[in-house]
Structure 1
Amino acid sequence: MASLQLGVSSLAGPTFQIRCSSERQALFNRIAPVYDNLNDMLSLGQHRIWKRMAVSWSRAKEGDNVLDVCCGSGDLTFLLSERVGPNGKAFGFDFSKEQLLIASTRQKLRSKTCYKNIKWMEGNALDLPFPDSSFDAVTIGYGLRNVVDRHKAMAEICRVLKQGSTVSVLDFNKSINPLSTTIQELMIDNIVVPVASGYGLEDEYIYLKSSIKDFLTGNELEKLALDVGFSTAKHFEIGFGFMGNLVAIR
């Protein structure tokens, strides 16, 4: 089943259009309180499997310094923290203050020692506040589709990664298979939007179909990574082809 992971693109749909970064930021602040519950409900918990796969592909290891861009409420950040352990350092970075507050609250409620190594930061993915070659691994889950300038976002990630290190990019898959595309759209129209409307968030989620149409195919994501300076890039289709994960090495 398609996940409800939010992604905001340039076109939102007939009744809801996201025109600028500040509107995207406001949207993520609004949906923050119910974001995790909706993801679990609509993906039947499968989004947790996809996120573990994404973190595994990042090749993060014990003692590493790692970054989760567009971290939201922190799922990938917590998983990264578990991989790097108490001797590593994990940064969760997002432009939504409300999402970061939820992530910070979740951190305080968890007892694993490694979670103490997480630092939450608010900021713009197009201007990462870190020196060149700062990180051993970077993840971005359901975020690249949301940024105003994907090329600049990927270039920034490439810049802050150490030579030979990996970025793992998880998001909806923009399939080139017409059948997969039709099924995905039917699920969004008949499952995602109706359920979201029960939480008063129909307008916030109705854009999702056009958001995916405006995203990049696997081949286009690979090309983008190579264009900004990554040495290798490979896109994998997961979740019955409804999701995709780009793995690129600097």
Structure 2
Amino acid sequence: MASVCCSPPPMPCRRPRKFSSGNRRIRCTTEERQALFRRIAPVYDNLNDLLSLGQHRVWKRMAVSWSGTRKGDCVLDLCCGSGDLAFLLSEKVGIDGKVIGLDFSREQLSIAMSRQRLRTKACYKNIEWIEGNALDLPFSTGYFDAITMGYGLRNVIDKEEAMKELLRVLRPGSKASVLDINKSTRPFTALFQEWMIDNVVVPVASGYGLKEEYTYLKSSIKEYLTGKELEQLAMAAGFSNAKFYEIAGGLMGNLVATH
């Protein structure tokens, strides 16, 4: 059954956070990451297809399925990028539902809007794109029936705060589905990931002039959390249940957290 959250347009529930001088380092890092994704944006989709041999589309469908999204729902795709998950969600919620795609990269959102204009299905018209901060979501408490987040949590500065924001804007009983590269605890899988990044990902990205941007990938995985740590993070944020699933032979992972 459709949630009442789909009736009004999303309205900011609080003012954007202002950074004090004590947060200057964090602000700079955020701006650097925005610049990185701005440079990647024009070739992001092509590289995803090439580097995953198209398998990222399967993983994203799995993430949407795990979110529990149903017809008529009002849902959020956080760190939406060029919109893959948002388009899949719109097919799930149908013409009576609502999808919000939020990202901090204006360039990625521009590509998402361009892709939306080229699609003819009526359900795709239910997507709204918003430039925003995953640590300070401009939505009221309990606004969404489900949330997806694809390849975004790993790149957020404060993962604890991001998880708390996911919980805040979710309706009680609903789920957040978080897809990302898996930080494996298995030595062979971890070594294979590193080999793939050094010998496949970075060389291919170099062909697009993005060697530096994709070299960052290895450090971002090292700084990320294991599946067990992600479950603990979700529970500490206040979710009632959290389960991490390894997929793609342990190279990818999906956290399913229930409010």
**Structure 1 segment 229-248 matched on structure 2, within 5 A:** 229-248=238-257
Match of residue 164, structure 2, among 139, 155, 159: 155
Q: Residue 126 of structure 1 aligns to a residue in which SS?
A: coil
- 1:12 counterpart residue number: none
**Structure 1 segment 97-112 matched on structure 2, within 5 A:** 97-112=106-121
- 1:135 counterpart residue number: 144
Match of residue 52, structure 2, among 35, 43, 51: 43
1:95-134 CA deviation, whole Å, 9 max, x = no partner?
A: 0000000000000000010000000000100000000000
1:166-200 CA deviation, whole Å, 9 max, x = no partner?
A: 00000000010001100110001000000000000
What is the rounded CA distance, in whole Å, between the counterparts of 2:52 and 2:40 in structure 1?
17
After the TM superposition, list the runs of 4 or more consecutive aligned residues in structure 1 that deviate by more than 2 angstroms: none
Query: Which amino acid counterpart does residue 255 of structure 2 have in structure 1?
Result: L
Structure 2: runs of 5+ lacking an equivalent: 1-26
Q: Which deviates the most, 207-216 or 111-120?
A: 207-216
Shift of 1:208: 1.1
- 1:80 counterpart residue number: 89
Q: CA RMSD in A?
A: 0.9
Shift of 1:26: 1.0
TM-score w.r.t. the length of structure 2 is 0.89
- 2:7 counterpart residue number: none
**Structure 1 segment 215-226 matched on structure 2, within 5 A:** 215-226=224-235
Q: Are 2:172 and 1:177 aligned?
A: no
Shift of 1:210: 1.6
Match of residue 131, structure 2, among 122, 131, 134: 122
1:15-57 CA deviation, whole Å, 9 max, x = no partner?
A: xxx9610111111111100000000001000000000000000
What is the rounded CA distance, in whole Å, between the counterparts of 1:230 and 1:74 in structure 2?
26
Query: Which amino acid counterpart does residue 34 of structure 2 have in structure 1?
Result: Q
For these two proteins, the number of residue pairs brought into alignment is 233
Greater share of helix: 2
